[in-house]
Chain A
């Protein structure tokens, strides 16, 4: 079992790192068209940061789905950060604080994903959403649920889990904790990593650029 989990983890990490590198190479090579561009004021950059934090463009586009999506993004980050203590021997204080917040963030994550799914499937009747989007939402929801059950009902040995994770990252594979749910949670986490949507890295840039463009458009035909 340990070997199988390790293979999946290494494969997912490889896909993730190589994927990001290849993408980066494609980005820096793609420069074949004359493109408008220009300076961006500090206020526009600050507004763009607010746009990213509040997902303002999504709010304007679809205020119905926005609460679910906003809570999802924030709770996902908190849950991710809450897991960091599994990768460090000396756990700093802030990681401990985040780990304490994690259970609440986990519940928020599950609730928000359930809201998104219901909104898309029932309210919008799947008219606009893509299958990919739906599958990803469902996978993360499953990941969240297995995490919640692991933390609340089918508790895994935290020390064994940490040792197993540390072993994976230092290429010393040891047995995972004796818990039937742990491998499922682990596998789902790495599946999500391998299929991590690229907008996580690129959407902040396009959001900042859309603010710059808005500023540019206002000045194009106006003094």
Chain B
């Protein structure tokens, strides 16, 4: 039950303990991309936790008991709301945190608290629930355009199959080469796969979850799970790390039970198909590529080696690594539904990654996330250091 004046009613017990466990050591500051580009200490993970702890103390803690429950300063609440929504939820702070605070999940819950108080979300994020209700996607685009502009001719999903492919809103509307690559690779592997219709494949719920707007979530999750169940699906494949995260971590919670199928990322499917020989490459790629680990894929669900296996399987390709890679990877700026609100931050963060790719003389900047794909492309626009951006499945499909 949500209590009106409580600051902890959106949090799990573990999260309340986590807020108290922060030692204020500041190790997280060294890894925070928003901190890197803004230099603003108030948006740092350490500061957000400290301020939220103060909110709890002055309303429910000893301070509140001794000096009476105080109204929390409205200005401070608004500043905190901005800070919490400016975060890309990349989770790098939690990864490095010496006491292991699970920040990638804590921030959405603190956002939820601010939404409950009528302070969040910010700017266009407010429109997401309405868009999802109206069109089924977060971009307010017609469902009829979800697949048609990019779906490859000659690829035929079947009505029912053990494998299903979920495209996701960002891929479908903002990263066509990527989802086209997915479909081509799936078809080339030869296993029949199914898809929901363009009207049926609605948002997975991630943008709502990450902006703390939970109202529609249970309905969306139940609708999607039941649709895939009707198709006899055993494995649901998706190339968007945010969707994959939402499905694997949050869907069971909103469904109230375990999912009746497995969730896999597209690179896992491709790496297995390559290893088993069901996916054969006719050509290679002669050049150096640098692979960026998406935060929600590496830190989020631990898919780290499979994308590298896919890339290493391409003849002639030389794989480069970012200095910060795998679970330590640096956010590209696209995450946390912040990219449409704090556009300058996102571009500046994206350019930090571009700088490194450029300095390392990479011929291609390889991504495996539609949000990264879309945002790094924006960051590349007009920038003097140009590196060609390619999705991992786009590259693989080019070798089929």
Which chain A residues have a beta carbon within 8 Å of chain B's beta carbons? 15, 18-19, 22-23, 26-37, 55, 57-58, 60-62, 127-130, 132-133, 197-199, 201-203, 205-207, 209-211, 213, 217-218, 220-222
Contacts and interface: CB of A to CB of B under 8 A. Distances in A.
A26 B16 contact: yes
A30 B12 contact: yes
9 contacts: A33-B10, A57-B98, A62-B98, A128-B30, A202-B20, A206-B14, A213-B100, A221-B264, A222-B302
B27 A30 contact: no
Contacts of B303: 221
A197 B98 CA distance: 15
B12 A207 contact: no
Contacts of A201: 20
A198 B17 CA distance: 9
A22 B25 contact: no
A199 B6 CA distance: 22
Contacts of B27: 58, 61-62, 128
A199 B22 contact: yes
Contacts of B12: 30-35
A209 B6 CA distance: 25
B21 interface: yes
A61 B96 contact: yes
A123 B302 CA distance: 34
Contacts of B253: 34-36
Contacts of A22: 60-62, 65
Contacts of B25: 128-130, 133
A163 to B, nearest CB: 32
Contacts of A23: 20, 61
B26 A32 contact: no
A15 B29 CA distance: 31
Contacts of A130: 24-26, 46, 50
Given A33-B15, A210-B102, 7 more contacts: A26-B61, A29-B8, A31-B12, A128-B29, A132-B24, A199-B23, A205-B21
Interface in B157-175: none
Contacts of B62: 15, 18-19, 22
Nearest to A213: B102
A217 B12 CA distance: 19
Given A30-B9, A130-B24, A209 B97 contact: no
A64 to B, nearest CB: 11
A153 B25 CA distance: 34
A128 B105 CA distance: 23
B26 A198 contact: no
A182 to B, nearest CB: 29
B26 A129 contact: yes
B100 A210 contact: yes
B56 interface: yes
B144 to A, nearest CB: 32
B14 A35 contact: yes
A31 B50 CA distance: 20
Contacts of B265: 221
B98 A55 contact: yes
B11 interface: yes
Interface in B1-60: 1-2, 6, 8-18, 20-27, 29-30, 46, 50, 56, 60
Interface in B237-269: 244, 248-249, 253-254, 263-265, 268
A96 B61 CA distance: 39
Given A30-B15, A33-B112, A221 B268 contact: yes
